[in-house]
Amino acid sequence: MRDPYVYPNTDVLINRHDVRDEADLAEMEAEYTSIRLKQITETPLPGNYDFQHFCEFHKWVFQDIYEWAGVPRTIDIEKPEPALGGISIEYSPVDEIEPTAKKVLDTMRDAAWDKFSLDEKALKFSKYMAELWKIHCFREGNTRTVVTFCCQFAESRGFSVDRTLFQKHSAYVRTSLVAASAYFSDLGDRAQPEYLIRIVRDSIERGRRKA
C-alpha cells in the first residue's frame, strides 16, 4: 500500500510548504515547532487531558507544517529502530488508536498523583508516557507531542517537571521510549523501562527544586 502521507516515489512527507528534500523539511520543521513549543510552554493549552486535548497539542505544534496536524493517522506504520537492531515497535493498528489512547489517558487522569512518592511518580509517569507514545497516534511528531502533553499534565496535577532536561536530551528520551515499549507479540517482553524512569525522575526532582 502506498503511503498517502509522502510525495510519490519519495520518503518526504507532504507539507504545506511543498518542500521535497528530507533534510530541508527536517530543518524547517525544527524551526517552526521550536517556536510553537515555546509558546505552549509559556501559555498552556487549555483542555481536559482527554483524547481531543491530546490531538489539539499535536495540531498546535505542527500546524505550520502539515495539513493533517492534530488528526490521527489513517495507515498502520513501522519504523525500524537502530536501538532494536532494525526492528520496529509494534505501534497500535489504526482502529485501536483512539480507544487505546482514551484508556491510557483515563487511567492517567484518575491516578492519585498527590499521594505518590517521588519514585512512585517517576514510575507511573514514565509508564503512561511510554504507553501513550507506543500508540503512535500520528504519522509524525509523536515524541514531541507526548512529552509536551505529559509535562503540562504533570503541572496540572501539582508537580513540576524540568522540561529543559527532555529538550536537551531529546535523542536519549526517544531511545528510552523505544526501550520502554519493546514488547512484541512474537518476541515477547524485551522492555527496559529503567532508562525512561531515570530521566523522568531527574526531571521531577529538578522541577521540585525550581518550584
Digit-coded pLDDT (tens) for 168-191: 999 999 999 999 999 898 888 889
Question: Going by C-beta distance under 8 Å and a sequence separation of 6 or more, which residues neighbour residue 209?
Answer: none
Q: Are 125 and 147 in contact (CB under 8 A)?
A: no
Total number of domains constituting the chain: 1
Percent of the chain with pLDDT over 90: 92
In a domain, 13, yes or no: no
> Is a pLDDT exceeding 80 seen at residue 211?
no
What predicted TM-score, i.e. pTM, was given to this entire model?
A: 0.95
In a domain, 63, yes or no: no
In a domain, 113, yes or no: yes
**How many residues in the chain?**
211
CATH of the domain at 90: 1.10.3290.10
> Is a pLDDT exceeding 90 seen at residue 150?
yes
In a domain, 102, yes or no: yes
Measured CA angle at 148 (ends 7, 29), to 5 deg = 30
pLDDT band at residue 210 using 50, 70 and 90 as cut-offs: confident
Which pLDDT score, from 0 to 100, does residue 120 have? Answer: 97
pLDDT band at residue 37 using 50, 70 and 90 as cut-offs: very high
Mean pLDDT of 141-155: 97
pLDDT band at residue 159 using 50, 70 and 90 as cut-offs: very high
- Using DSSP, state whether 205 is helix, strand or coil: helix
Mean pLDDT of 95-99: 99
Q: Are 29 and 65 in contact (CB under 8 A)?
A: yes
Domain range enclosing 84: 74-210
Mean pLDDT of 134-161: 97
Distance CA 77, CA 88 (A): 9
Lowest mean pLDDT among 21-35, 104-118, 185-199: 185-199
Mean pLDDT of 186-208: 93
In a domain, 98, yes or no: yes
In a domain, 201, yes or no: yes
Mean pLDDT of 47-62: 99
pLDDT in tens, 62-78: 999 999 999 999 999 99
The helix-helix angle for 142-156 and 51-62 (nearest 10°) equals 120
pLDDT band at residue 21 using 50, 70 and 90 as cut-offs: very high
pLDDT band at residue 2 using 50, 70 and 90 as cut-offs: confident
- Using DSSP, state whether 192 is helix, strand or coil: coil
In a domain, 22, yes or no: no
Distance CA 189, CA 123 (A): 18
In a domain, 20, yes or no: no
> Is a pLDDT exceeding 80 seen at residue 192?
yes
